[in-house]
Amino acid sequence: MSEGIVYPGPKPLVEERRITRCSQETVDLGKEFGSRLRSGAVVALVGPLGAGKTTLVQGIGAGLGVNEAITSPAFNYLLEYAGQLPFCHADLYRIEDARQFFALGLEEYFDRDGVLAIEWAERIADILPPRTISLYLNPLAKQDEREIIVCLGPPHATK
């Protein structure tokens, strides 16, 4: 019952494709994914409003051993957590392009130890490091169902 994914660019190389049926399953998938990440990992999350990006990041954080609540950093741009690895969660909802990202000094987080997860990362696709792993979240026609696709490399830019 997929509505079909609308890719902003050419179809990326798919490493893994999963369907989650509720937010708990999305959290669980995030945990599994997060527990496999190493220091230096950059994770780009791409999907529309309400797709479950923050929910997936909550799972990734849990997989990295973060015990406290992971909340949306949309207004703070970035929130830091301490897990087995330092974990940074960025949200570029309020940023339009890479120049604004630089204006806030956020590119410094690419070079820090730990894991960096970025929501709305397609807005800075051009400056994401090549090691970026992209997670596409696609809400399906059936409410609460999500298709989640893991791809290697930065997401394709919008526009």
CB of residue 32 to another protein, shortest distance in Å? 21
C-alpha–C-alpha distance, residues 132 and 44, integer Å: 7
The dihedrals phi and psi of 53, each to the nearest 5 degrees, come to: -60, -50
Detail the DSSP E strand segments found in the chain.
14-20, 42-46, 78-82, 86-91, 115-119, 133-139, 146-152
Q: List the beta bridge partners of residue 79.
A: 89
Which is closer to another protein, CB of 9 or CB of 102? Answer: 102
Q: Does 74 bind another protein (CB under 8 A)?
A: yes
Among 4, 10, 13, 108, binds another protein (CB under 8 A): 108
77: contact with another protein by CB under 8 A:
yes
Q: Which is nearer to another protein, 66 or 133 (CB)?
A: 66
Which of 43, 85, 106, 151 touches another protein by CB under 8 A? 106
Q: Which alpha helices (DSSP H) does 48-145 contain, by range?
A: 53-63, 98-103
Binding site for another protein (CB under 8 A): 49-50, 54-55, 69, 71-82, 93-96, 98-100, 102-106, 108, 143
